[in-house]
């Protein structure tokens, strides 16, 4: 096969463009800035300011006051948005995830506190029931443990409106129920929340990389079975495009691929095919691997952290949800 870019040595020496930092920077095809980062943050409903998450070294659940302080730090660092994930008292969980609809619950309370503290920082809220259900699934289940699609969607649209009314800038359905984006868009329009954005977890895979997150939100011990009947098969790529196409058609403003690094091919396909804002989620298992290897001296943690974030940009993502956001922004601001 003939190369479309004929090149021959020694007239072409590709190392010329690598010889000094200034020319490497000048010829760099992709750049990472704080504007590319979305801070993934776990909040809790207790009084204790911070609670460490054992399987995610360096990560803490924050109470409402600490979350508000973190929002101010995000503003100072130039981080444009924060995605919040709740850890609630297990006594408030039930099979229907009723606490997800509580207008005085943790999520609306922390939204208001963070928006008061840093009005210029966007707040993104997960729309899903798994932090609130006693069984750990993303929806209502039947007697056989199967997640019921339409009954769940009805709860999700109500949850999304409640979050929007509390001040969320973006609602992000992560449940992978069919038809939920359209139902949420219709509910937001009916509630007068026409400018509330939807970022759909459009290509969310049934992955083994979510384990530490489930520890962080307290659903790991509760989860019965797995989520393979509603999250995508890791073997499939074309299916992701069908999921994304449906969500865009139903009213999604941004789409997401999750997990991140193992699915760079999906990010590239989605970005190239649809030309819509595409977000990568560097999930808890990716974070934990880097932190654990860094603690043991097996890798240069900071270098690998920054490399992986840049890889998402190279693959076509316009932004990255990451637990590394604060640390990466500090480095980028130096």
Q: Who contacts 92 (Cβ-Cβ below 8 Å, separation ≥6)?
A: 45, 99, 105, 132
Residue from 171, 163, 155 nearest 98 by CA: 155
CA distance 334 to 34: 11
Alpha carbon distance 205, 298 (integer Å): 28
- List residues with catalytic annotation: 204, 258
On whether 243 is known to bind a ligand per the annotation, the reply is: yes
Q: How many contiguous H segments (helices) and E segments (strands) does the chain have?
A: 11, 10
- Exposure string over 3-12, b if 16+ CB within 10 A, otherwise e: eeeeeeeeee
The answer for residues whose C-beta is within 8 angstroms of residue 203's C-beta and 6 or more apart is 232, 240, 243, 244, 255, 256, 257, 258, 263, 266, 270
Does a cis peptide bond (omega within 30 degrees of 0) precede residue 259? Answer: yes
Respond yes or no on whether the N-terminal peptide bond of residue 10 is cis (omega within 30° of 0): yes
Query: Please, is 227 exposed, middle or buried when counting C-beta atoms within 10 Å of its C-beta (0-12, 13-18, 19+)?
Result: buried
Question: Which of 142, 134, 139 is closest to 158 using CA atoms?
Answer: 139
Residue ranges at the known binding site for Mg(2+): 243
């Amino acid at each position: 096969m003939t190369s479309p870019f004929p090149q021959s040595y020694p007239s072409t020496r590709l190392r010329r463009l690598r010889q000094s930092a200034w020319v490497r920077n000048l010829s760099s095809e992709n750049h990472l800035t704080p504007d590319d980062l979305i801070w993934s943050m776990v909040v809790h409903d207790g009084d204790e300011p911070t609670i460490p998450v054992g399987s995610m070294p360096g990560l803490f659940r924050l109470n409402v006051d600490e979350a508000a302080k973190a929002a101010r730090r995000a503003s100072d660092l130039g981080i444009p948005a924060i995605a919040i994930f709740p850890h609630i008292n297990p006594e408030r969980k039930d099979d229907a995830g009723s606490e997800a609809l509580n207008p005085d619950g943790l999520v609306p309370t922390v939204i208001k506190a963070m928006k008061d503290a840093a009005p210029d920082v966007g707040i993104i809220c997960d729309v899903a029931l798994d932090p609130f259900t006693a069984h750990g699934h993303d929806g209502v289940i039947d007697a056989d443990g199967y997640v019921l699609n339409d009954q769940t969607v009805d709860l999700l649209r109500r949850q999304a409106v409640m979050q929007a009314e509390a001040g969320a800038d973006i609602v992000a359905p992560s449940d992978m129920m069919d038809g939920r984006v359209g139902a949420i868009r219709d509910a937001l329009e009916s509630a007068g929340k026409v400018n509330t954005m939807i970022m759909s977890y459009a290509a969310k895979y049934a992955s083994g990389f979510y384990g530490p997150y489930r520890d962080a939100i307290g659903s790991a011990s509760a989860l019965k079975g797995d989520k393979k009947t509603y999250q995508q098969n890791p073997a499939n790529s074309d299916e992701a495009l069908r999921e994304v196409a449906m969500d865009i058609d139903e009213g999604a403003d941004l789409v997401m691929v999750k997990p991140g690094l193992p699915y760079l091919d999906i990010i590239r396909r989605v970005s190239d095919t649809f030309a819509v804002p595409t977000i990568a989620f560097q999930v808890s298992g990716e974070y934990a691997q880097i932190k654990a290897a860094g603690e043991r001296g097996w890798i240069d943690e900071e270098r690998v952290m920054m490399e992986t974030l840049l890889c998402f940009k190279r693959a076509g993502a316009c932004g990255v949800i990451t637990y590394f956001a604060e640390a990466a922004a500090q480095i980028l601001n130096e």
